[in-house]
Amino acid sequence: MRNMKAIFRLAGCAGAALMMLLMSQVANARENVVVSIISVSVYGAWYIVNEKGFADNINVDVQIIEDLTARNAGLSSGDIQCIMTTMDSTVVTAAAGVPIRHVAVPLMSYGLDQMIAVADLKSDADLKGRSYAADYGFLNHMWMLLTLKRAGLAYDDATHKIMLPQDAAAAFVSGNLDVDVNFVPFTEQSLQLEGAHVLKTSLTDKTWERGLISDSIACANKFLDESPEVAQELIRAWFQAVDWWKQNPEEGNAIVAKGLDWPEADVQLTQAGALMLNLNQNLGALGIGDGQPVCNDLPEGVPQPPEEDSGWGALVGSDSDCEAGYLSATWDLFNEVYRDANVIDSTISFEDGVDNTFIEALYAAGAHEEMNSNLWIGRLEF
C-alpha cells in the first residue's frame, strides 16, 4: 500500500511538473513587445493593458527611458518596438532617418501645457525681444514657434534658451526668463514668481483643434512590416485600455500610479489636463468614415474653451480652424516650422512618416463602435 501511495505521489509530482512546463511554454509563446515611455501618466494605459490582459498573446514590456537618443538607438537596433512621444518629435525623429512610422494619436493636451509669463508680458505680440525656455525639438518648443508664426513674428524675434522642464521653472523663478513654456506641475513652481501669470494654456489657445500639442504612438518600421498582426493587436489593446480607463477612472489611476510609482493624486492632476483620444477621434484626425475630430467631439464634462476663433487653420491655408482630416496638414506644418527654425535639415512626407493601415483595419472591424467612450478621465475631483 505504501508503494502504491508513493507511485501516486510521483505521478502527481510528474503531472504538476508537466503542467508547469506547459504553462511555461504558453507564457514563452506570448510575444514580448517593448514600448518605451517617459514618466508621465498619459502614457500609463500600457500598465492597464498588462494588468487587465487586454493584449491577446502579447506581453507589453513598458520601459521608462527619458533620453531621446537612447530611445532612437533602441528603435534602430530593434530593442524597442514602439515609443510614446509627441507628434512633432515623431516628425523630428523620422526626418532624421530613424526608421519609424506614426500609427495612432493617443492623446492631446487640454490645459496641461502652459506659458507662464512675467508681469508686463500680456499678449503674443509682446514676445518680441523676450526670452523663453523650452526643450529642443519638443512640443513646448513647437508651440512657441507656432505662436510666433501666428503673431507675424520671426522665429528669432524671441530668444530660445534650451532647458529641461525642471531647469526652466527654476530659471524663471530666479528672474532669468520672460516666459516658461512648460507643463503641470512645473508651471506651478513658475507661478511662484511675483507678478507671474498664465499667458495661455493649451486649452485656452485651442491647440487641440489641429493636434498642435498632441502625442504619437510611433513604431519601428521593421516591427510594423514583419509583425503586422502583433502590431495590430497592440494598437487595439491600447484603445481598449483607454476605453476601460475612461469608465473606471479611480481603478485606472491606481494602476497607472503603481506602474509609474507615482502618488495617485499626481496621476489625477495630470489627467485633468489631457484628452485621451478614442478610435472615433483618430478616424476624425485622418478623415476616415464618419469620424469626428476632437474639436467637434469634446469629452463630456471638460472645461469649455473660449468661443473666439483660434486662427490656427490659417497657418495651413484653411478657412476652418476645426475640420476632419487635419492630421496631414499638421504633419506638414511641423515639418515646415522645424525646417525653417533649423531644427531639422530635411523633411519627412506624411505618406512616408504616417501609417494609417492599423487605424483603418480597426475601423473595418467595427472596433470604433465597441470602444467609443468619450468620458473625460480628468473628471475626478481633487
pLDDT value for 103 = 98
- Whether the per-residue pLDDT at 275 is higher than 70: the answer is yes
In whole numbers, what is the pLDDT of the chain averaged over residues? 93
Q: What is the pLDDT of residues 65-100, one digit of tens each?
A: 999 899 999 999 999 999 999 999 999 999 999 999
Percentage of residues in the chain having pLDDT higher than 90: 90
Report d(CA 35, CA 63) in Å as an integer: 6
Q: What is the pLDDT of residues 334-359, one digit of tens each?
A: 999 999 999 999 999 999 999 999 99
- Whether the per-residue pLDDT at 190 is higher than 90: the answer is yes
pTM of the model: 0.90
pLDDT value for 29 = 66
Q: What is the pLDDT of residues 313-332, one digit of tens each?
A: 999 999 999 999 999 999 99
- Whether the per-residue pLDDT at 23 is higher than 70: the answer is no
pLDDT value for 9 = 42
Q: What is the pLDDT of residues 107-165, one digit of tens each?
A: 999 999 999 999 999 999 999 999 999 999 999 999 999 999 999 999 999 999 999 99
Go through the domains of the chain in sequence order and give each one's CATH number. 30-108+210-297+325-372 (3.40.190.10), 113-201 (3.40.190.10)
Percentage of residues in the chain having pLDDT higher than 70: 92
Q: In the numeric block, which cell numbers belong to residue 112?
A: 496641461
pLDDT value for 250 = 97
- Whether the per-residue pLDDT at 46 is higher than 90: the answer is yes
